[in-house]
Amino acid sequence: MELGQCECGAFIFQVGDSMYDISTGICRRCGEISDRQYLINRNDFRWLQKGQISTWKYRSFCAQCGTDLPQEQANNVIEVPAHMLKKDTSEEEIIALHKRFAERIKKR
User: pTM to 2 decimals?
Assistant: 0.65
Convert the pLDDT of each residue in 3-55 to its tens digit: 888 888 888 888 887 777 665 555 555 555 456 778 888 999 999 888 887 77
Structural contact between residues 16 and 1, judged by C-beta atoms closer than 8 angstroms: yes
Alpha-carbon distance 54 to 10, whole Å?
13
Structural contact between residues 66 and 60, judged by C-beta atoms closer than 8 angstroms: no
- For domain 2-107, which architecture applies? Alpha-Beta Complex (3.90)
Q: 37-41, 84-88, 94-98: which has the minimum mean pLDDT? A: 94-98
**30-49 as b/e, with b when 16 or more CB fall inside 10 Å?**
beeeeeebbebbeeebeeee
Structural contact between residues 49 and 42, judged by C-beta atoms closer than 8 angstroms: no
